[in-house]
Amino acid sequence: MANLLEDTKRLSAKLDVISKKISESVSSSSKNDDQRMDVTEAQQYIPGHPAVQTIYGWTSNNQIPYHKIGKRIFFVKSELDEWLSKEQHQSQEDLQREAEEFVNKKRKPYQL
């Protein structure tokens, strides 16, 4: 009976250690996703490494998610990841369908 109690205490201690490691891992991964980058760091992070001036152009046209405090522009890694995943090329059929939907929506009904 004493062995059972000791084994239970050891298992409980091991579970506490595992639980702490898991929570540390989750918090560190969320911190990495919320990592802030300046323009040059974002340039190195974005595939193709666009020019810094290109990134400034994207921000002025609101094509890329960014934050501005005072005169400083910065980017959040998780937002850039989401933006990059949305920026996938569309197939020819998708482009044709979108064009037809746009034309049909803008077309005025025929009046006599």
Query: What is the reported pLDDT for 32?
Result: 60
Query: What is the reported pLDDT for 8?
Result: 84
Structure tokens at 70: 């005072």
Residue 5 falls inside a structural domain: no
- Write the burial class of residue 19 (CB in 10 Å: 0-12 exposed, 13-18 middle, 19+ buried): exposed
Low-confidence ranges of the chain (pLDDT < 70): 1, 26-33, 87-90, 108-112
Query: What is the reported pLDDT for 42?
Result: 94
Residue 76 falls inside a structural domain: yes
Query: What is the reported pLDDT for 75?
Result: 95
Query: What is the reported pLDDT for 16?
Result: 84
Query: What is the reported pLDDT for 31?
Result: 57
What range does the domain containing 42 cover? 34-88
Residue 97 falls inside a structural domain: no
Query: What is the reported pLDDT for 54?
Result: 94
Residue 7 falls inside a structural domain: no
Whether 47 contacts 89, CB under 8 Å: no
Rg (CA), the chain: 26
Residue 55 falls inside a structural domain: yes
What span, in angstroms and rounded, lies between the C-alpha atoms of 79 and 86? 11
